[in-house]
Each structure stands twice: as structure tokens, then as C-alpha cells.
Amino acid sequence: MLLGAVRRWWAQVGPYYTKPYRDVFIGVGIMTIIYYKISYGGKLKKPSH
């Protein structure tokens, strides 16, 4: 039920957010990867149990 509402909402606003701002999403993704590589040296820290 909630998923159907989200799908209807996304069908209306999705094209507005994805088409004009596609380059922004790509840039944010690249910056996130670069930040991760710098912060963690590309290595995933394993949680100590």
C-alpha cells in the first residue's frame, strides 16, 4: 500500500528530479567515492566484536 503511494508520487516528481539533475547526482556519487577513498584509504574497516 505504501509502496503504491511512493510509486505514484515518484511517477510525478521522478522525471523532474532525475533529468535536469542527472549530472548533479553523478557528481555527488563521484565525490562520495573520492571522500571514502581519502577517509578510509580505500579499505573497509571491519567492526570489532
45-to-9, 30, 32, 36 alpha-carbon distances in Å:
37, 20, 17, 11
pTM of the model: 0.42
Residue 37 domain-assigned (yes or no):
yes
Range of 26's domain? 15-41
Residue 46 domain-assigned (yes or no):
no
Asked if residue 28 has pLDDT above 80, the reply is yes
Number of domains in the chain: 1
Note the pLDDT of residue 31.
Answer: 92
Beta strands in the chain (DSSP E): none
10-to-5, 30, 34, 39 alpha-carbon distances in Å:
9, 24, 29, 34
Residue 24 domain-assigned (yes or no):
yes
Residue 36 domain-assigned (yes or no):
yes
Residue 26 domain-assigned (yes or no):
yes
Percentage of the chain exceeding pLDDT 70? 69
